[in-house]
């Protein structure tokens, strides 16, 4: 993730006004909603999401810290993470991690750290993003070659997100990718959005939404810029095989980007099936 994007002063970005003509050409609806309590683990599809000032409530509030170097692990450097899943416990805000063997780990602590360390074969600790310093992670210079140079970047404080707190994508974008690489599985799980919007057509229509308001009930979101993609989209996970042609296709057809990094400008609750207005 280039520092010029990650280190942008998000609080200084303008809030668009709604005096632009409303779009009547597109019929937009919330198709799927996702939350990822632990960085780079599989997340949970939910019928509703609570949007708070700095993102999705409960999203990427935890991460696995490599005790050897202090970095937060991601599936860029540790692909096995995509074979464990996380959800928020029903009785609170702590994460519940399910390992590939079915073992469940609730919240932080010595037992959780021991089980995670045994699984990954190295000492790791489940840590909270809240109250911690800006965390470091790594990505590969070549998204199709895990032996390429590793580049470090710093995540924003408060959540273990790459750059912006919310990721929005459309079904039209996924259809466009599938048309360009029909042999690939353009499954939404590869791209890890929080909000997938159903829209007719084909192609990355959401590109045109930069700096415009997305209104979902009382909630207001502002897509800021296209999401820079990496090796994560190629990774294997349950039900999906490794496919470097996913990224190669994005690189060839769309500059290696897909979906929109987005901010919340008016908190609220959104649900699958909700109508979305583009202002």
Residue 257 falls within a domain, yes or no? yes
| Residues 257-273, mean pLDDT to the nearest whole number | 98
The band of 277, judged by pLDDT with boundaries at 50, 70 and 90, is very high
Tokens found for residue 168: 């929005």
Boundaries of domain holding 229:
21-278
Total count of domains within the chain = 1
Is residue 98 within 8 Å of residue 84, measured between CB atoms? yes
CATH code: domain of residue 270: 2.40.33.20
Q: Token pair 């583009």 is at which residue?
A: 278
Give long-range contacts, CB 8 A cutoff, 24+ apart: 252-256: 252/180, 253/176, 253/177, 253/180, 254/204, 255/226, 256/143, 256/228, 256/229
> What are the tokens at 208?
């045109």
**Per-residue confidence (pLDDT) for residue 139, from 0 to 100:** 67
Helix/strand number for the chain, H first, E second = 4, 18
What Å distances lie between residue 134 and 66, 131, 142, 148, 227, CA to CA? 15, 9, 25, 25, 20
The per-residue DSSP string of 207-260 comes to GGGTT--EEETTEEEEEEEEEEP-GGGG--BTTB---HHHHHHHHHHHTTEEEE
- Ramachandran region of residue 36, left (φ > 0), alpha (ψ -120 to 50) or beta? beta
Is residue 12, in this structure, part of any structural domain at all? no
Q: Give the HSE-up count for residue 185: Cα atoms under 13 Å, Cβ half-sphere.
A: 14
Q: Report d(CA 254, CA 260) in Å as an integer.
A: 13
pLDDT at 142: 73
Taking residues 236-246, report their average pLDDT. Answer: 97
**Per-residue model confidence (pLDDT) at position 17:** 45
Residue 32 lies in a domain: yes
Q: Is residue 264, in this structure, part of any structural domain at all?
A: yes
What is the mean predicted confidence (pLDDT) over 16-39? 75
Can you give the pTM of this predicted structure?
Answer: 0.89
Q: Please report the pLDDT score of residue 153 as a whole number.
A: 63
- Token look-up 């190669």 returns 248
Q: Is 176 a domain residue?
A: yes
């Amino acid at each position: 993730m280039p520092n010029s994007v990650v280190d942008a002063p998000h609080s200084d970005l303008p809030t668009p006004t709604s005096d632009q003509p409303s779009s009547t050409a597109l019929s937009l609806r919330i198709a799927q909603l996702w939350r990822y309590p632990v960085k780079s683990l599989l997340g949970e599809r939910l019928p509703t999401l609570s949007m708070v000032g700095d993102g999705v409530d409960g999203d990427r509030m935890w991460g696995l810290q490599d005790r050897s170097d202090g970095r937060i692990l991601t599936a860029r450097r540790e692909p096995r993470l995509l074979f464990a899943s996380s959800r928020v416990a029903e009785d609170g805000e702590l994460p519940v991690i399910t390992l590939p063997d079915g073992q469940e780990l609730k919240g932080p602590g010595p037992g959780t750290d021991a089980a995670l360390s045994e699984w990954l074969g190295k000492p790791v600790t489940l840590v909270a993003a809240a109250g911690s310093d800006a965390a470091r992670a790594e990505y590969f210079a070549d998204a199709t070659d895990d032996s390429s140079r590793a580049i470090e970047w710093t995540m924003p404080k408060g959540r273990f997100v790459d750059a912006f707190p919310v990721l929005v994508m459309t079904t039209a974008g996924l259809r466009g990718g599938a048309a360009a690489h029909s042999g690939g599985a353009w499954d939404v799980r590869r791209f890890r959005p929080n909000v997938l919007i159903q829209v007719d057509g084909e192609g990355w229509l959401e590109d045109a939404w930069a700096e415009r308001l997305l209104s979902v009930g009382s909630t207001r979101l502002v897509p800021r810029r296209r999401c820079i993609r990496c090796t994560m989209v190629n990774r294997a996970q349950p039900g999906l095989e490794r496919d470097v042609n996913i990224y190669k296709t994005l690189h060839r057809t769309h500059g290696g980007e897909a979906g929109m990094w987005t901010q919340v400008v008016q908190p609220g609750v959104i649900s699958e099936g909700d109508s979305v207005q583009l202002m």
